[in-house]
Amino acid sequence: MKFGRRLPKQPFTSLQSPVMESDIRDPDLAESGAVRMEWDARQMPVLHSIKDRFARERPFRDLRVAVCLHISTKTANLVTAIKSGGAEPVVCASNPLSTQDDVAASLAVHHGVPVFAKRGEDPDTFNRHLHNVLESNPDILLDDGADLVTTAHRDHRRQLDRIIGGTEETTTGVNRLRSMVRNGDLTIPVIAVNDSKTKHLFDNRFGTGQSALDGILRATNTLIAGKTVVVCGYGWCGRGVASRVRGLGGQVIVTEVDSIPALEAAMEGFRVLPIDEAAALGDLFITVTGNRGVIRRDHLEVMKDGAMLANAGHFDVEIDVQALDALAIEKRSLRPNVEEYALANGRRLHLLGEGRLVNLVAGEGHPAAVMDLSFANQALAVEHLVARHEDMPPGLYTLPDEVDREIAGLKLESMGLAIDALTPEQQDYLDSWR
Ligand SMILES: NC(=O)c1ccc[n+]([C@@H]2O[C@H](COP(=O)([O-])OP(=O)(O)OC[C@H]3O[C@@H](n4cnc5c(N)ncnc54)[C@H](O)[C@@H]3O)[C@@H](O)[C@H]2O)c1
């Protein structure tokens, strides 16, 4: 049985509407964006090799790919890889505060990619940009947080008939899509890139582990050594954050709602406490749960003077910023990305990056070397969709295991590392129950 829209045999063109003008901050920033993209491209050898193959094989000829990701140097390298494969990408931001305006400018000016993203855009502009991208008649949706897929299902249902599928970058997006599947609402196939081992085992853990701390340090220049750091959520990101805090000499307290990761954290040597108890102890709080209301009014009220609050989960709902606003008698900006809230009880709390993804708001996001793996997955997921979408009924998919291993193998090779191969005897031994 075949599903979805069948793409015509080559040559075909699906570009049925003219691409609109970009909406970016300043095209004159393009040079700076180009140089920074070049720097990061050097750390992305796996994506680079895929890009070279795409340029030869042109698997996406004349397909329009809507891209909703953090507009960073790494994303720009993914976008140019997809473009090398013959696609026409159209780009918007997955977060209003993570856009790097010089990268947006370079994509638009040097690569002719329509970009709808300005750092600090207000919620209306952010939403309008999502609609701009969907109105370009995309064939494929490339998402980070499922905003494109959910907006298409809510407001652009006619477009859905022509969309062959999508890909999803992050845990929160995959959670939203799982909910759509449970409710019978998802009408296209989506590949959960986050669920590839070469994505979450590396990007979420080592990427978020390093970049969340990087963002916090850039914002505050605080000393982690000797501080009590409360890490809320011990999933893939939480494991990375907790281990990096420990590496810098911080004392980690983990809060969890699931007994298994909580036990794992305890056996890893971290103190495990309910947030109600941890709230009064922390000097620094880092939320990475993908959930909402993790730090609430009750917790804010008992925090120490000078406590800092940062979020590295996808949405800005993990720390209850409204409660913080309500408790504050005065608020002022102390440094870029550091807001001081003076409470009636005389204590001062410091919110970093407005409670949005601290690694992207106060830093540059993950290092390119780890995004090499995530975006190799994205690039191959788009290729997989184009080749296989007719055999993919609506639902959530993961990339085949061999793709994961191919990406890991290419990364090892680029690092100059080799591994052993099974001997025939070893293979027989493993295959035999005797
Ligand atoms: N900052 C980044 O660049 C970045 C990168 C990857 C993922 N993310 C985002 O980070 C979040 C976490 O991702 P993950 O891959 O670690 O997810 P995960 O599912 O592996 O882990 C989340 C953990 O949080 C726990 N949790 C849920 N509610 C909680 C609560 N109220 N208190 C304490 N713990 C709670 C869960 O039990 C789980 O163990 C998601 O929103 C994801 O999209 C951010």
Measured CA distances, 152 to 32, 184, 328, 345 (Å): 34, 15, 39, 46
What spacing in Å lies between the alpha carbon of 390 and ligand 1's midpoint?
33
Q: Is residue 185 domain-shared with residue 236, that is, in the same domain? A: no
Question: What domain count does the chain have?
Answer: 2
- In this structure, the residue with its CA closest to atom 27 of ligand 1 is 289
- Containing H/E element for 349? strand 348-352
What is residue 201's predicted lDDT score, i.e. its pLDDT? 98
Nearest C-alpha neighbor of 55 from the set 11, 87, 77, 13: 87
User: Span 6-29, mean pLDDT?
Assistant: 65
Domain final position from 361, 383, 404: 361
Would residue 425 count as lying in a domain?
no
**What does the pLDDT look like over 77-109, one tens digit per residue?**
999 999 999 999 999 999 999 999 999 999 999
Q: Is residue 154 domain-shared with residue 172, that is, in the same domain? A: yes
What is residue 8's predicted lDDT score, i.e. its pLDDT? 46
User: Span 208-235, mean pLDDT?
Assistant: 98
Residue entry with tokens 């329509």: 114
d(CA 269, CA 332): 38
Would residue 389 count as lying in a domain?
yes
What spacing in Å lies between the alpha carbon of 200 and ligand 1's midpoint?
11
Q: Is residue 59 domain-shared with residue 156, that is, in the same domain? A: yes
C-beta separation of 84 from 61 below 8 A: no
Query: Counting beta carbons within 10 angstroms of the beta carbon of residue 423, is it exposed (0 to 12), middle (13 to 18) or buried (19 or more)?
Result: exposed
What is residue 10's predicted lDDT score, i.e. its pLDDT? 39
Q: What is the CATH number of the domain that holds 253?
A: 3.40.50.720
For residue 399 the two structure tokens come to: 């990339």
- In this structure, the residue with its CA closest to atom 41 of ligand 1 is 290
What spacing in Å lies between the alpha carbon of 298 and ligand 1's midpoint?
22
What is residue 7's predicted lDDT score, i.e. its pLDDT? 60
* pTM of this structure: 0.94
Would residue 51 count as lying in a domain?
yes
Largest CA distance in the chain: 73
Would residue 189 count as lying in a domain?
yes
Nearest C-alpha neighbor of 67 from the set 113, 12, 8, 98: 113
Would residue 181 count as lying in a domain?
yes
For residue 2 the two structure tokens come to: 């075949």
C-beta separation of 121 from 28 below 8 A: no
CB count, 10 Å around CB of 241?
31
C-beta separation of 249 from 284 below 8 A: no
Best probe residue, ligand 1, of 201, 314, 319 (max atoms within 8 Å of C-beta): 314
What ranges make up the beta strands (E) of 81-201? 88-93, 115-116, 140-143, 165-168, 189-192
What is residue 322's predicted lDDT score, i.e. its pLDDT? 98
Would residue 8 count as lying in a domain?
no
Residue entry with tokens 């940009």: 129
Q: Is residue 156 domain-shared with residue 208, that is, in the same domain? A: no
DSSP structure string for 188-207: SEEEEGGGSHHHIIIIIIII
Q: Is residue 374 domain-shared with residue 332, that is, in the same domain? A: no
What is residue 15's predicted lDDT score, i.e. its pLDDT? 47
Q: Is residue 103 domain-shared with residue 245, that is, in the same domain? A: no
CB count, 10 Å around CB of 76?
28
Q: What is the CATH number of the domain that holds 100?
A: 3.40.50.1480
Could you tell me if the CB of 201 is within 6 A of ligand 1? no
Could you tell me if the CB of 129 is within 6 A of ligand 1? no
For residue 382 the two structure tokens come to: 């788009």
Could you tell me if the CB of 204 is within 6 A of ligand 1? yes
Instruction: Answer yes or no: is pLDDT of 16 > 50.
Output: no
Nearest C-alpha neighbor of 85 from the set 104, 63, 70, 69: 63
If one compares 392 and 16, the residue with the highest pLDDT of the two is 392
Measured CA distances, 258 to 37, 172, 199, 263, 289 (Å): 40, 17, 22, 9, 11
C-beta separation of 44 from 369 below 8 A: yes
Q: Is residue 178 domain-shared with residue 238, that is, in the same domain? A: no
What band does 159 get if pLDDT is binned at 50, 70 and 90? confident
What spacing in Å lies between the alpha carbon of 236 and ligand 1's midpoint?
7
Give the single-character DSSP code of 114: -
**What does the pLDDT look like over 73-85, one tens digit per residue?**
999 999 999 999 9
Tell me the CA end-to-end span of the chain in Å, nearest whole number. Answer: 40
Residue entry with tokens 């993919």: 392
Could you tell me if the CB of 238 is within 6 A of ligand 1? yes
For residue 230 the two structure tokens come to: 């409360």
With H, G, I as helix, E, B as strand and everything else as coil, classify residue 344.
coil
What band does 434 get if pLDDT is binned at 50, 70 and 90? confident
Instruction: Answer yes or no: is pLDDT of 199 > 60.
Output: yes
Would residue 2 count as lying in a domain?
no
Query: Ligand 1, closest atom to CA 170?
Result: 43
Domain final position from 317, 333, 361: 361
Q: Is residue 397 domain-shared with residue 333, that is, in the same domain? A: no
**What does the pLDDT look like over 383-423, one tens digit per residue?**
999 999 999 999 999 999 999 999 999 999 999 999 999 99
Measured CA distances, 195 to 117, 164, 170, 374, 433 (Å): 27, 20, 8, 10, 30
What spacing in Å lies between the alpha carbon of 318 and ligand 1's midpoint?
10
Question: In terms of residue numbers, what domain contains 265?
Answer: 204-361
What spacing in Å lies between the alpha carbon of 266 and ligand 1's midpoint?
18
Q: Is residue 257 domain-shared with residue 405, that is, in the same domain? A: no
d(CA 274, CA 208): 23
Query: Ligand 1, closest atom to CA 294?
Result: 31
Query: Ligand 1, closest atom to CA 237?
Result: 16
- In this structure, the residue with its CA closest to atom 40 of ligand 1 is 290
Measured CA distances, 290 to 172, 197, 319, 364 (Å): 6, 19, 11, 20
User: Span 291-307, mean pLDDT?
Assistant: 98
Could you tell me if the CB of 206 is within 6 A of ligand 1? no
Mean pLDDT of the chain, nearest integer: 95
Instruction: Answer yes or no: is pLDDT of 9 > 80.
Output: no
- Which residues make Cβ contacts (< 8 Å) with residue 369, sequence separation at least 6? 43, 44
Q: Is residue 46 domain-shared with residue 181, that is, in the same domain? A: yes
What spacing in Å lies between the alpha carbon of 287 and ligand 1's midpoint?
8
Would residue 421 count as lying in a domain?
no
Q: Is residue 269 domain-shared with residue 402, that is, in the same domain? A: no
Share of the chain above pLDDT 70, in %: 95
**What does the pLDDT look like over 112-156, one tens digit per residue?**
999 999 999 999 999 999 999 999 999 999 999 999 999 999 999
User: Span 241-265, mean pLDDT?
Assistant: 98
Q: Is residue 338 domain-shared with residue 387, that is, in the same domain? A: no
d(CA 91, CA 112): 11
User: Span 24-29, mean pLDDT?
Assistant: 97
**What does the pLDDT look like over 30-61, one tens digit per residue?**
999 999 999 999 999 999 999 999 999 999 99
